[in-house]
């Protein structure tokens, strides 16, 4: 039996509606694409790498130290950044002698989270201790000497975190799940 133009139009409308019902919530609440821009995460991520961001995990749990996250830049929320979580809410982060130290609340001991490998030619500057609030994170780029991060613009509020780097899709030779992960 031949379909009339109305039946064909109705099929197209149903297809578009079903697609929108599935795609839009997926894109808004579960995952979205992200293209790395800049050198702040070298050697983990390079310029123009294509990532899929997991937006769902942080509805179910808190971000963890060492995770690579995508977030809205606090000084311009229209711009997105990619960095690694170094300090968690309530912790104190100190930078001295090319090392990043993190002290947990109530503890007198500091843990070294990162040592600058190239401290002869590109040392990182010492910084006063930063104590994070209950919903704040301290983030840094893996390329510490070339990164605009919490050392310069302060702690990252939790509500600006979009998600974590979940899949690297490009370049094809580096495709993988949890790229740069812990």
Residues involved in catalysis = 40, 83
Two structure tokens written together for 175: 């495709």
Q: Positive or negative, the Cα torsion across 84, 70, 56, 174?
A: negative
d(CA 81, CA 84): 10
Per-residue DSSP letter, 40: T
Tell me the three state secondary structure of residue 75.
Answer: coil
**Biggest alpha carbon–alpha carbon distance for the chain:** 81
Asked if the peptide bond before residue 46 counts as cis, ω within 30 degrees of 0, the response is no
Report the C-alpha gap between 34 and 54 in whole angstroms: 10
Q: Which residues contact 78 (CB under 8 A, 6 or more apart)?
A: 72
């Amino acid at each position: 039996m031949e379909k009339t133009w109305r039946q064909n139009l109705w099929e197209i409308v149903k297809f578009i509606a079903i697609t929108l019902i599935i795609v839009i919530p997926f894109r808004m609440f579960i995952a979205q694409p992200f293209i790395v821009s800049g050198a702040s995460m070298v050697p983990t991520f390079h310029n123009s790498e294509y990532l899929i961001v997991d937006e769902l995990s942080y509805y179910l749990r808190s971000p963890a130290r060492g995770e690579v996250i995508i977030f809205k830049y606090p000084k311009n929320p229209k711009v997105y950044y990619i960095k690694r979580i170094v300090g968690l809410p309530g912790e104190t982060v100190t930078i001295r002698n090319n090392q990043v130290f993190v002290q947990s609340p109530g503890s007198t001991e500091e843990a070294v989270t990162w040592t600058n490998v190239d401290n002869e030619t590109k040392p990182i500057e010492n910084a006063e201790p930063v104590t994070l609030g209950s919903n704040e994170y301290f983030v840094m780029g893996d390329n510490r000497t070339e990164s605009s991060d919490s050392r310069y613009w302060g702690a990252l509020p939790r509500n600006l975190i979009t998600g974590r780097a979940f899949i690297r899709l490009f370049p094809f030779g580096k495709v993988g799940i949890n790229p740069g992960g812990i």
